[in-house]
Chain A
Amino acid sequence: GAVVSQHPSWVICKSGTSVKIECRSLDFQATTMFWYRQFPKQSLMLMATSNEGSKATYEQGVEKDKFLINHASLTLSTLTVTSAHPEDSSFYICSAAADPGQGLKNIQYFGAGTRLSVL
């Protein structure tokens, strides 16, 4: 149990286009999901906390209009990188925190990540 699916795993796009990344909790419900960015050989940097039914909470320095987050259901959060540029190229990882009462640990379960390359 507690599988988080992230799609796509790899995407290449042209500069100026928008890219949507999906994060799904396959067998549990998650009111709260998280989006991270990871640079090569560096740690995970939290970008934002995604809350079902309400606006995402962004970390300091993360552009809300650049990284649009939509948490439309208890099993799906999406991150859209708008007007992507080469400096947005990175590894994006999502995680989901299982809602109580599902027999799961109160921890974050991680997706496999999405590698974004902007040409």
Chain B
Amino acid sequence: AQRVTQPEKLLSVFKGAPVELKCNYSYSGSPELFWYVQYSRQRLQLLLRHISRESIKGFTADLNKGETSFHLKKPFAQEEDSAMYYCALKGLSNTGKLIFGQGTTLQVKP
């Protein structure tokens, strides 16, 4: 079964502290993984995806197929990073549909 698990509902850190939002997936194959972010009162938007291997707003995520994980990391959190973060998986079928994790609220305190 296809499944995305984000074990933490809430992650609270102080400004300047490192951040790691965990994401594990279950998929029989090679999926495409994404991180989407939703800032307060804004729509969901793409943060990054594993095939791009890019760093956006200081965030990075590496796909670990052995551990079936795609954790999101940032070395120094900023207050403006406070938001809801969703990990999502897209299978290789042509439907293009996404399976979302439960989401993690990141709270960066001053």
Contacts and interface: CB of A to CB of B under 8 A. Distances in A.
- Interface of A: prevailing SS: strand
Interface string B82-102: 000010000000011111111
B102 A43 contact: yes
Interface stretch (B11-19, B21-29, B44-52, B55-63): B44-52
A84 interface: no
B86 A46 contact: no
A110 B95 contact: no
Contacts of A112: 42-43
Given A57-B95, A108-B98, A43 B86 contact: yes
Contacts of B46: 105, 107
B44 A32 contact: no
B104 to A, nearest CB: 10
A95 to B, nearest CB: 8
B34 interface: yes
Interface string A17-55: 000000000000000101000000011111001000000
Contact of A44 (B42, B45, B100): B100
Contacts of B45: 110
